[in-house]
């Protein structure tokens, strides 16, 4: 939503000020379709050449993610803390073998059943179960577990950040592609040098539209989208990092309440629930 609002402000200010200052919008609009075809066509071609088919397929989903923002809310973090609290409490009270049935069959687990959104998120559920299973296989060294989980999280973040970086590369190329379109317009103008000055003036103005559009697309549209998508990816990465914090704290011998509190501190500040909210959320969920 904010991307659309920002885009509207950018276009209104750029074109509105141009018209308000006495600029002729006619030549601009007449040249724009051909210049856009040159610039955007070249940008799409460079994007396809520089990236894998997977990145190309994920582009629409990436744009959608940038527009919608992070999928995780404060309530989602509360639910994740609740799930991890009940799992670590069960493991602390009865041993790691007590949670084996829950991690081997999350769909039939009463603990996961109390948090259906996490249970139905295949990626998150698998991440939790995999590392709790490792802990049950005597991988109880907190430093080793922290290193292993950290490396997977870094790998996931690196893969997810590929699309924002690819869009930023396109943004960096757009001004140069705009110059390419402008040069083509100048070549066309020079080929018609014998025409009257008024005609040449319109042709030169049309050629300059390419430079204008290249810069506007780069810094007014594509770069902000790339930056926003990167921010969303990093914010969503904090969700799984919370799992790492709680499991490592548990393996260090902390009580479930302490482990959850350590995890709470790793949540982004604008989404971090208060200590009282966590306490109320934990007491409100009954797990058999």
pLDDT at 287: 65
Higher pLDDT pick, 205 / 174: 174
pLDDT in tens, 216-251: 999 999 999 999 999 999 999 999 999 999 999 999
Structure tokens at 97: 């073998």
Name the residue among 204, 164, 180, 141 with its Cα closest to residue 65: 164
Name the residue among 69, 37, 64, 65 with its Cα closest to residue 178: 37
pLDDT in tens, 22-77: 877 877 788 888 888 999 999 999 999 998 898 888 999 999 999 998 899 999 99
Structure tokens at 208: 């300059």
pLDDT at 257 over 80: yes
pLDDT at 95: 84
pLDDT at 283: 83
pLDDT at 286 over 70: no
Predicted confidence band at 198 (pLDDT cuts at 50, 70, 90)? confident
Give dist(CA 141, CA 135) in Å, integer: 9
pLDDT at 194: 77
DSSP structure string for 199-260: HHHHHHHHHHHHHHHHHHHIIIIIHHHHHHHHHHHHHHHHHHHHHHHHHHHHHTT--HHHHH
pLDDT at 281 over 90: no
The average pLDDT across 209-221 equals 92
Counted residue by residue, the chain has a size of 288
> Residue 34, SS3?
helix
Per-chain mean pLDDT for the chain: 89
Total H helices, total E strands in the chain: 14, 0
Structure tokens at 45: 């071609």
Predicted confidence band at 201 (pLDDT cuts at 50, 70, 90)? confident
Measured in degrees and rounded to the nearest 5, phi and psi for residue 140 equal: -105, 5
The average pLDDT across 8-19 equals 88
Give dist(CA 144, CA 23) in Å, integer: 65
Cβ neighbours of residue 228 under 8 Å, at least 6 residues apart? Answer: 3, 66
pLDDT at 144 over 70: yes
pLDDT at 89: 92
Cβ neighbours of residue 179 under 8 Å, at least 6 residues apart? Answer: 210, 211, 214
pLDDT at 288 over 70: no
Cβ neighbours of residue 249 under 8 Å, at least 6 residues apart? Answer: 142, 258, 259, 262, 263
């Amino acid at each position: 939503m904010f991307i659309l609002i920002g885009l509207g402000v950018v276009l209104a200010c750029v074109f509105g000020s141009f018209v308000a200052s006495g600029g002729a919008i006619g030549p601009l609009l007449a040249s724009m379709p051909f210049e856009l075809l040159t610039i955007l066509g070249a940008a799409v071609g460079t994007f396809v050449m520089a990236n894998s088919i997977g990145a190309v397929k994920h582009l629409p989903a990436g744009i959608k993610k940038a527009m919608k923002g992070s999928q995780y809310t404060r309530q989602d973090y509360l639910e994740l803390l609740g799930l991890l609290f009940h799992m670590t409490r069960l493991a602390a009270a009865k041993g790691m073998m007590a949670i084996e049935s829950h991690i081997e069959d999350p769909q039939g687990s009463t603990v996961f059943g109390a948090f259906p959104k996490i249970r139905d998120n295949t990626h998150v559920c698998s991440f939790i179960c995999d590392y709790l299973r490792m802990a049950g296989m005597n991988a109880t060294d907190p430093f080793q577990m922290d290193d292993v989980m950290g490396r997977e999280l870094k790998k996931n973040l690196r893969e997810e950040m590929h699309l924002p970086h690819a869009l930023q590369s396109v943004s960096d190329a757009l001004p140069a592609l705009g110059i390419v379109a402008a040069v083509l317009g100048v070549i066309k103008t020079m080929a018609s040098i014998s025409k009257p000055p008024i005609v040449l003036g319109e042709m030169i103005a049309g050629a300059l539209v390419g430079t204008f559009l290249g810069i506007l697309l780069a810094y007014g549209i594509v770069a902000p989208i790339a930056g926003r998508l990167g921010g969303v990816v990093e914010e969503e990465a904090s969700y799984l990092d919370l799992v790492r914090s709680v499991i490592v704290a548990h393996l260090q011998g902390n009580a479930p309440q302490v482990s959850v509190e350590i995890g709470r501190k790793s949540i982004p500040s604008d989404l971090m629930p208060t200590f009282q909210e966590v306490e109320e959320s934990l007491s409100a969920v009954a797990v058999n």
